[in-house]
Structure 1
Amino acid sequence: MDSYTSAAVDGHLLTPVTRKPPLRSSADRHGPISKLGDDLLVAILIRLPNARSAFLCKSVCKRWSSLISTSAAVSFITVNRAGSTTAANNLL
């Protein structure tokens, strides 16, 4: 029987088989920004208008949260905030 309309065949219940799509890697799910190095992400973060904006970025993902939470990153972002291109260029 090709149809799932009947409740049972030979005493066995028929249930449709559903297939889940294959799991993609974390980098594929989050796009190309997840492939950026930490130094480049910090260079992006220091271009934010203030430290509060950088702090709010902690909710983007676990990686950003851990990066922003390190004491070195916090002090660097705070000292070099407001779009300092000199500090960003020193990282690269």
Structure 2
Amino acid sequence: METVILISQVIMGLALVLTFVRVVRGPSLPDRVVALELFSTTVVGLVGVYAIQSGVSSFLDAAIVIALMGFLAAIGFARFLERGGPRDD
């Protein structure tokens, strides 16, 4: 069980590094936002694996909050794009 948890954490850590590279180098704003969504999803996975490893269920509450914040950020960006981007009202 410990080996599986360690392998999961290493793979998700590598995914975080690669996602961060996409956020920094992304060719367009939508690519960067999708990478940020993936980043938050990967963090939720890491927190969930850590909750399993430590046996502390309150970490799952933190994972739920992170997931909700990522979802709301995606909705906000979709609305931003729907309205045509930045405006000078």
Greater per-residue strand proportion: 1
TM-score range, shorter chain: under 0.3
Q: TM-score normalized by structure 2?
A: 0.27
The structure with higher relative contact order (CA 8 Å, sep 6+) is 1
Q: TM-score normalized by structure 1?
A: 0.27
Greater per-residue helix proportion: 2
